[in-house]
């Protein structure tokens, strides 16, 4: 189906839309009963996201239930290292595991032993096609990938949460780490271009661990690779950058990467960003979890904060799995009133 110029794409083009369009990071997933029912029959998370029919259904579920203004592709940032040759498994209660962990030996040798196979990503590209065909008129389809720095943290540690491992390797083996980030960047460019060709109308770069870096490292491992990605695919579709925890480095990030829009975490403020730069965010996910009067107050604050600029209402990070469906309904009623 065609989409015309929906509200999300209008904002990404620089228009102010009132009320602002709404979609939520991780809106397709564990807080939805229909997702949990499908997940039980899927035979594991990786099998689910590599099944185009099932993954397309999961992507469309929240749009169908809530009428969100965009669908976000149901996938995971770690399919890129999986395509690059690391084994990937999702352990219940423990999160993702990548093997071999790249901190265990010289990076250059480890990379030489890994063979990138982009054909492994074809099922995800087929999911994009199916979602595009199934989306109602005016609803945008947003593809995504992880920021190269954030993906590298998982590849080096072999799991999530250990951010010191990648920082240490970057100090000890700067040449090897540069090769790793460059390879992730190149695979990501091809992956995002394929998503756009299949029907994604915008893409988001999730750099969830950008905030742990020093200014010089932030420039090297976040800004540089993101600018490369934008230079390669930004003419094909708008790129939303999400450098979580960037703080006062947001202005330089926006200027130097040339992203079409900046997604803000719940700690970020937009005051120093250019007034014509589209922004996305930044409701606290815990306010959504809390609901009630607290949620209404936070929504009103966010709406006031961004009233004079192009704005997509979203969370400052992913929706908490324990969030009641009724709280999401409350959010949409409040914004659209």
**Distance between start and end Cα atoms, the chain:** 29
pLDDT at 4: 56
Q: Is the pLDDT of residue 227 over 70?
A: yes
Q: How many residues does the chain have?
A: 337
Average pLDDT over residues 127-133: 98
Model confidence over 8-53: pLDDT tens digits? 999 999 999 999 999 999 999 999 999 999 999 988 999 999 999 9
pTM for this model (two decimals) = 0.96
**165, HSE (Cβ side, Cα atoms, 13 Å):** 19
Give the single-character DSSP code of 20: P
pLDDT for 158: 94
Locate 267 and state its tokens. Answer: 């700690």
**Region 7-336: CATH code:** 3.20.20.210
For residues 187 and 224, the answer to whether their CB atoms sit within 8 Å is: no
pLDDT score of 93 more than 80:
no
Q: How does pLDDT run across 170-213, given as a tens digit for each residue?
A: 999 999 999 999 999 999 999 999 999 999 999 999 999 999 99
∠ Cα 267 90 230 (to 5°): 50
Rg, C-alpha atoms of the chain = 19
Q: Sort strands 202-207 and 95-99 into parallel, antiparallel or unpaired.
A: unpaired
Angle, helices 148-157 vs 163-172, to 10°: value is: 100
Which positions are annotated as active-site residues? 26, 30, 39, 76, 154
Closest CA to 79 of 205, 2, 188: 188
| Predicted local distance difference test score (pLDDT) of residue 196 | 98
111 pLDDT exceeds 80? yes
**Predicted confidence band at 94 (pLDDT cuts at 50, 70, 90)?**
confident
In sign, the C-alpha dihedral spanning 8, 13, 19, 24 is: positive
């Amino acid at each position: 189906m065609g989409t015309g110029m929906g509200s999300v794409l209008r904002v990404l083009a620089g228009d102010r839309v009132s009320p602002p369009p709404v979609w939520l990071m991780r809106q397709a997933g564990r807080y939805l009963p229909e997702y949990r029912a499908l997940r039980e029959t899927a035979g594991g998370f990786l099998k689910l996201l590599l099944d185009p029919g099932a993954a397309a259904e999961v992507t469309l579920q929240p749009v169908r239930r809530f009428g969100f203004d965009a669908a976000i592709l149901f996938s995971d940032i770690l399919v890129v290292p999986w395509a690059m040759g690391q084994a990937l498994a999702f352990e219940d209660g423990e999160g993702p595991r990548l093997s071999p962990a790249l901190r265990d030996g010289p990076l250059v040798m480890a990379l030489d032993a890994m063979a990138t196979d982009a054909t492994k990503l074809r099922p995800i590209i087929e999911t994009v096609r199916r979602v595009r065909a199934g989306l109602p008129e005016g609803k945008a389809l947003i593809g995504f990938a992880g920021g190269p720095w954030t993906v590298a943290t998982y590849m080096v540690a072999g799991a999530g949460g250990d951010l010191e491992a990648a920082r240490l390797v970057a100090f000890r083996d700067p040449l090897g780490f540069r090769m790793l980030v460059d390879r992730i960047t190149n695979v990501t460019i091809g992956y995002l271009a394929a998503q756009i060709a299949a029907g994604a109308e915008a893409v988001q770069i999730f750099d969830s661990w950008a905030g742990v870096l020093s200014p010089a490292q932030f420039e090297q491992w976040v800004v540089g690779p993101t600018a490369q990605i934008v230079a390669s695919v930004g003419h094909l579709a708008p790129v939303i950058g999400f450098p979580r925890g960037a703080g006062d480095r947001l202005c330089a990030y926006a200027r130097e990467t040339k992203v079409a829009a900046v997604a803000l975490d719940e700690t970020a403020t937009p005051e120093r960003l250019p007034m014509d730069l589209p922004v996305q965010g930044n409701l606290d996910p815990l306010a959504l979890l809390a609901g009630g009067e607290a949620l209404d107050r936070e929504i009103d604050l966010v709406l006031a904060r961004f009233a004079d600029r192009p704005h997509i209402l979203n969370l400052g990070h992913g929706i908490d799995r324990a969030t009641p469906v009724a709280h999401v309904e409350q959010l949409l009623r409040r914004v659209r009133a």
